[in-house]
Structure 1
Amino acid sequence: MGITQSEVGLGFRREMIEDVLEYGQVPVDFWEVAPENWIPLGGRYHQDFATLTRQYPFKTHGLSLSIGSPDPLDIEFVKSVKSFLDRHDIQHYSEHLSYCSGEGHLYDLMPIPFTEEAADYVAKRVRHVQDIIERPLILENVSYYAAPGQELSELEFTLAVIEQADCQLLLDVNNIYVNATNHGYDPMEFLQGLPSERIAYGHIAGHFNEAEDLIVDTHGADVIEPVWQLLEQAYLLHGVFPTLLERDFNIPPLPELLAEVDRIRQIQHRHLAQASKSA
């Protein structure tokens, strides 16, 4: 079983700055930002963000590393991320196990072919990134809607990359639910196959049901009950790990977001209490 750490987090967006600064101490253990949305900012935004990073722990979840792209790594971009992490004393940099560029920006997260060759290619790029940022890269299992040239299962491919790159995992529970529905596999088998010791933290989010057999990962709705249940199973299998609520649009007022955050905390505390009784 991996780390046992009761921490809850919330995605942070620029439009939340005033609410958070005025709230006082928001009951979260960490915030998460996309570094691309903050690196170029100066002035008041930079000052306010620096104030918040002194007050709260932050993690970063990138959008444009494009770790599986056929294009060369953007080394200057990786160096700018490293400077951002160092400046704000942020230790966690996570990204998507996918790509978003190929002779230009594709404006979406594209699926990497599930092949041994692709796993080797991605792992080498991950190691290069880790050498630059001087931290482990944390890769998220992503939602995908097609699997071109598939030779390995999603789980086999994910494990191959993580082990060869010696990196960490961002366990997105909602993405497991989405992919299990869209591609017809057992979400519990996927969860059971993940290495507990590689899990750095987790995500949970809402989605949109396009059809009975097609779910779109939107981060624009409340978390549904089957996803909450899958989070419970993840804690049972891997121990309690830091978990963040993602909400990227249709963002409700902060008190409503914090109600879902509190549900994560309640689930964590219940599992920790049960674990201590059985110890």
Structure 2
Amino acid sequence: MPNVGLGLRREMLDEFCQTTPREIEFFEVAPENWMTLGGKFGRQFKQLTEQHPFFCHGLSLSIGSPEELDTQFVKNIKTFLDTHQIAIYSEHLSYCSGKGHMYDLMPIPFTDDAVMHVAKRIKQVEDILERPFILENVSFYAAPSAQMTEQEFVNAVLNEADCKLLLDVNNIYVNSINHQYDPQAFLAAMPTERIAYLHIAGHYQEDIDLMVDTHGADIIDPVWSLLQQCYQLHGVHPTLLERDFNIPATTELLKEINQIHSYQQQAQQALSARFA
């Protein structure tokens, strides 16, 4: 299993089709942004999927929507995954659509009914995709009609759906500031055995008590610290650097990618020393 990856953007295609730095061990893409591409972009994407491991992270499945699941959309995703032999598919614990598909991630009410609703839909998706469903904890800015905490809700959905977790470390930090909880406690409460892989990213500080999850800035020290704690608590899992805009040169991205490598190596050495 590759250990450190990067979210692939179209503007990176020319460079990475020529040469991909060895430090980038896998790529992640949103299937919605790639599955209708043909021409030059389509050829370049196919070249990279033939040469490197890929994960898929969806944007608009809308797993929590009150509308019926768009099964044709899920079938289109399956075709894309099959075509490029991609086994890993994750999505956000949120919803973004009524009729149609949008990219705005809206909070699901933290209720028992929502737990059952989301879990049922996850099983539908798994049946169509013929792959495990991996669910990401999301950043959110309001908690309408909440009957439980975010931590309780995430764990309840994971247990009811019996699915894996994409643990976004930056989202934990952002939510901990916006909703005033202990990020270390939230991190420790996540089920180790369900973690499939990790996300880490930068964000924007709107105010002293308001962080916005943007994926458009460098990672800050408290988020790096949380990643280190994650490795110590849950072991080393594949970790993806998300950078969606304000994208610097690859040499700059590699600084953060190599930071992830370094923390993973430190965690593995500490684990080895503990059992030596």
TM range (shorter): over 0.9
Structure 1 contact 68–97 (Cα < 8 Å) conserved: yes
Structure 1 contact 20–26 (Cα < 8 Å) conserved: no
Q: Does 1:158 align with 2:154?
A: yes
**CA shift at 1:96, angstroms?**
0.4
1:48 alignment partner AA: Q
Say if 1:102 and 1:251 are closer, same or farther in 2 by CA, change over 3 A: same
Q: Deviations over 1:205-263 (max 9, x none)?
A: 00000000000000000000000000011111100110000000000011111110010
Once the two structures are overlaid, the 10-residue window that deviates more, 95-104 or 169-178, is 95-104
**CA shift at 1:68, angstroms?**
0.3
**CA shift at 1:88, angstroms?**
0.7
Equivalent residue of 1:99, what SS? coil
Give the structure-1-normalised TM-score: 0.96
Q: Which runs of 5+ in 1 are unaligned?
A: none
**CA shift at 1:107, angstroms?**
4.2
Q: Structure 2 CA distance, aligned partners of 1:16 and 1:48?
A: 10
**Among 270, 274, 279, which residue is 2:270 paired with?**
274
**CA shift at 1:203, angstroms?**
0.3
RMSD: 1.1
Q: Does 1:252 align with 2:229?
A: no
Say if 1:6 and 1:84 are closer, same or farther in 2 by CA, change over 3 A: closer
Q: Does 1:186 align with 2:175?
A: no
Structure 2 contact 57–91 (Cα < 8 Å) conserved: yes
Q: Does 1:240 align with 2:236?
A: yes
Pick 1 or 2: higher relative contact order, CA cutoff 8 A, min separation 6: 1
Q: Which runs of 5+ in 2 are unaligned?
A: none
Equivalent residue of 1:101, what SS? coil
**CA shift at 1:204, angstroms?**
0.3
**CA shift at 1:26, angstroms?**
4.1
Counterpart in the other structure of 2:132? 136
Say if 1:104 and 1:50 are closer, same or farther in 2 by CA, change over 3 A: closer
Counterpart in the other structure of 2:6? 10
**CA shift at 1:48, angstroms?**
1.0
Say if 1:20 and 1:120 are closer, same or farther in 2 by CA, change over 3 A: same
Structure 2 contact 94–108 (Cα < 8 Å) conserved: yes
Once the two structures are overlaid, the 10-residue window that deviates more, 157-166 or 5-14, is 5-14
Structure 1 contact 66–100 (Cα < 8 Å) conserved: yes
Alignment of 1:26-105 (within 5 A): 26-105=22-101
Q: Structure 1 CA distance, aligned partners of 2:46 and 2:18?
A: 15
Structure 2 contact 134–165 (Cα < 8 Å) conserved: yes
Structure 2 contact 2–25 (Cα < 8 Å) conserved: no
1:208 alignment partner AA: Y
Q: Structure 2 CA distance, aligned partners of 1:26 and 1:267?
A: 17
**CA shift at 1:103, angstroms?**
3.7
Percent of aligned pairs sharing the same letter: 60
Equivalent residue of 2:69, what SS? coil
Structure 1 contact 62–96 (Cα < 8 Å) conserved: yes
**CA shift at 1:21, angstroms?**
1.4
2:264 alignment partner AA: Q
1:238 alignment partner AA: H
Counterpart in the other structure of 1:172? 168
Q: Structure 2 CA distance, aligned partners of 1:220 and 1:124?
A: 34
Q: Structure 2 CA distance, aligned partners of 1:105 and 1:128?
A: 18
Give the structure-2-normalised TM-score: 0.97
Counterpart in the other structure of 1:202? 198
**CA shift at 1:71, angstroms?**
1.1
Q: Deviations over 1:169-215 (max 9, x none)?
A: 00000000000000000011111111101000000000000000000
* Alignment length (residue pairs): 275
